[in-house]
Chains A and B, each alone.
Chain A
Amino acid sequence: MASIIETAASITFQQVIMMIIGGILMYLGIKKNYEPTLLVPMGLVAILVNFPMTGVLTQTINGQKTEGVLDILFNAGITTELFPLLIFIGIGAMIDFGPLLSNPFMLLFGAAAQFGIFFVVIVALFFGFNIQEAASIGVIGAADGPTSIFVSSQLAPNLLGPIAIAAYSYMALVPIIQPAAIKLVTTKKERRIRMTYKAESVSKKTRILFPIIITLIAGIVAPVSLPLVGFLMFGNLLRECGVLDRLSNTAQNELVNIVSILLGLTISVKLTATEFLNVQTLMIIAFGLVAFIMDSIGGVLFAKLLNLFRKEKVNPMIGAAGISAFPMSSRVIQQMAQAEDKQNFVLMYAVGANVSGQIGSVIAGGLLLGFFS
């Protein structure tokens, strides 16, 4: 009884707040179905790590230093950047580059929608973060959890916790954030623009050569991005080569599932009250939201700019699909297009832009790392 009272009394008010945040994360994952694969483990670990004297984290218990299991996993998978890279194999195996290869023009939106990253770098610098920290915060706007972890673990490991939380939370909130951002910069008439889809089949040779050539280009142009690009394209090659279906299925299912469990557990190691509850974290979360919104706006404005010169107008909402949150963003764009006009089908274009956003965010992450190397 005495030990129960002692444990309860040693929990601080800040730790209780973190446990409530953990509860909210689990609620969003379970009840709202927002990225449950990550938010549910993250939520529970937010509770775990805020109990004192448990040995979950490296702690001194009864005068003896005990290495925590979550710290062991963190050092093995996040510090070494192993988990985000393994996840990329699975993502690569899941992505069908077909819609992009049949409409390569969509690649430009994958570039334009990275604007928020660099916009927030300036904002974060203005608020006193150093350049490496600012770059890591900006990457939240890539809407790409593994890339955010990969970049911030190299440039600002001290900010890894809040950056990972913000990146995954905003990815989960795409259906709420993007429509608001898009409506801010488009008119109803623009959102009703129809695009006729020319379904052109893509040859098997093209599908196989594409990931190989992208790897070569990344290796030459942005070598620091090669771990990210290489693993992503390796996963895609497994999918497209036609002789490794068993490995492709494993990458898409078992590998992604196992690494997602480990990733969800380990990124939450930084959700302790002392590391998380401070003004800096709140600023990072706010800047992440700005980056995300500016990415969407950047993509939309670029599409509107192109429309000034094009005969066949592009629905500007397609530009916002150039972020990396795949496939959620393209679904949101299609839903918005149909909400304005039931006969408007922009999904395949949106998927093309969304897939190019995946490449764009990885390249942007690599370029940020390259800038400092």
Chain B
Amino acid sequence: MSHALAQGFELMGFELMGFGMGGVFAVLFLIYLVCIALNKLFPGKTDKK
């Protein structure tokens, strides 16, 4: 594999890392907000003493 091609592949690897980690964090953060909203809108029953 030529040096330039190898460098291109590694750049793509870093691009994939940024896309992947950024994407996973973004989606799970969105789900985090959804969880909070759901818990606020439909709170679970609390034990009455």
Binding site for A on B (CB under 8 A): 1, 9-10, 12-14, 16-17, 19-21, 23-32, 34-36, 38-39, 41-46
Contact = CB atoms under 8 A, between A and B. Distances in A.
B13 A128 contact: no
B32 A104 contact: yes
Given A104-B39, A114-B21, A368-B20, A125 B13 contact: yes
Contacts of A115: 21
Contact of B23 (A122, A213, A363): A363
Contacts of A363: 23-24, 27-28
B19 to A, nearest CB: 6
B34 to A, nearest CB: 5
Contact of B28 (A110, A122, A201): A110
Given A104-B35, A125-B9, A131-B9, A360 B24 contact: yes
**10 interchain residue pairs of minimum CB distance:** A201-B44, A104-B35, A118-B17, A205-B42, A203-B42, A111-B28, A206-B38, A367-B23, A122-B13, A125-B13
Contacts of B26: 221
A360 B14 CA distance: 19
Contacts of A217: 27, 30-31, 34
A121 interface: yes
A125 B42 CA distance: 47
A118 B46 contact: no
A158 interface: no
B22 to A, nearest CB: 9
Which of B21, B36, B41, B43 has its CB near the most chain A CB atoms (within 10 A)? B21
A209 to B, nearest CB: 6
20 contacts: A104-B39, A114-B20, A114-B24, A118-B21, A121-B17, A125-B12, A125-B13, A131-B13, A131-B16, A135-B16, A200-B44, A202-B39, A203-B43, A206-B41, A210-B35, A217-B27, A359-B31, A363-B24, A363-B27, A367-B24
Interface of A: 100-102, 104-105, 107-108, 110-112, 114-115, 117-119, 121-122, 125-126, 128, 130-131, 134-135, 200-203, 205-206, 209-210, 213-214, 217-218, 221-222, 356, 359-360, 363-364, 367-368, 370-371
A101 B17 contact: no
A101 B16 CA distance: 30
B44 A210 contact: no
A111 to B, nearest CB: 4
Contacts of A114: 20-21, 24
A202 B1 contact: no
Given A114-B21, A121-B17, A359 B28 contact: yes
Contacts of A209: 38, 42
A370 to B, nearest CB: 8
